[in-house]
């Protein structure tokens, strides 16, 4: 559950960034300025697959990390520090060409964009309900790369022996 719990924790932080005060002001500013790119996605994907390889090669790493994780991580720096405390994970990130801070920033920006993309979808393509500070470019990036992002998430869940979440039924009501 380590990988998924960390990703879900990151999602909670992204929700906090959408809602406001939980994340540090500097993190909100960082996420508002950060742009998701194809190059960063390629590095993030490599880093995530490095995690998968590390977890398969050393299953005890999953237990160690699960025992050491700080579930109260609320800032980019705190999330990066978790990866820094686990050399195989830090190596997986840095060998993909990212720092742990860049990895955490990408991950939070991606989750934030995913949440905003859901809002846009619920609003039939309208961006007027997207919270301020969520870059429109990131939402559009997320929408274009949704299948690829889902695939890497499924790969990480498979490492932990979890099944992919079942798709939610389409809402056929008009609102």
Task: Provide the Cα torsion 132, 137, 138, 141; round to 10°.
Answer: 150
Task: Provide the Cα torsion 115, 89, 99, 158; round to 10°.
Answer: -30
CB 85 within 8 A of CB 104: no
Which tens digits make up the pLDDT trace of 72-98? 678 999 999 988 988 998 999 999 999
pLDDT exceeds 70 at position 170:
no
- Rounded CA-CA distance 78/94 in Å is 17
Neighbour-count burial of 175, counting CB atoms closer than 10 A to its CB (0-12 exposed, 13-18 middle, 19+ buried): exposed
The predicted model scores a pTM of 0.75
- Rounded CA-CA distance 71/2 in Å is 11
* DSSP one-letter code for 36: -
Which residue is it, tokens 């050399």? 87
- Cα radius of gyration rounded to whole Å, the chain: 16
User: What are the Cα distances from residue 137, in Å, to 45, 53, 109?
Assistant: 20, 32, 11
**Ramachandran bin of 124, using left for φ above 0, alpha for ψ from -120 to 50, beta for the remaining angles:** left
Here the tokens at position 56 are 């398969």
100-122 helix and 87-94 helix, angle to the nearest 10 degrees? 70
Q: What is the pLDDT of residue 15?
A: 44
Which residue is it, tokens 């498979």? 158
Which tens digits make up the pLDDT trace of 112-159? 999 999 999 998 989 988 998 999 999 999 999 999 989 988 888 887
- DSSP collapsed to 3 states, 6-18: HHHHHHHHHHHHH
Q: What is the pLDDT of residue 101?
A: 96
pLDDT range class, residue 4, cuts 50, 70, 90: very low
Which residues have C-beta within 8 Å of that of residue 14, sequence separation ≥ 6?
108, 111, 112, 114, 115
């Amino acid at each position: 559950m380590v990988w998924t719990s960390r990703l879900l924790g990151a999602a909670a932080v992204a929700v906090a960034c959408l809602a406001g005060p939980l994340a540090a002001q500097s993190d909100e500013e960082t996420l508002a300025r950060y742009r998701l790119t194809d190059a960063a996605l390629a590095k993030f994907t490599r880093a995530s697959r490095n995690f998968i390889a590390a977890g398969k090669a050393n299953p005890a790493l999953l237990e160690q990390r699960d025992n050491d994780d700080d579930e109260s991580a609320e800032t980019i720096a705190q999330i990066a520090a978790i990866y820094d405390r686990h050399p195989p994970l830090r190596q997986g990130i840095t060998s993909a060409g990212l720092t742990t801070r860049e990895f955490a920033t990408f991950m939070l920006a991606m989750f934030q964009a995913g949440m905003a993309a859901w809002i846009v979808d619920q609003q039939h393509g309208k961006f007027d309900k997207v919270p301020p500070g969520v870059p429109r470019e990131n939402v559009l990036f997320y929408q274009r790369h949704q299948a690829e992002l889902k695939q890497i998430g499924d790969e990480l869940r498979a490492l932990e022996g979890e099944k992919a979440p079942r798709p939610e039924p389409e809402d056929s009501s008009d609102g």
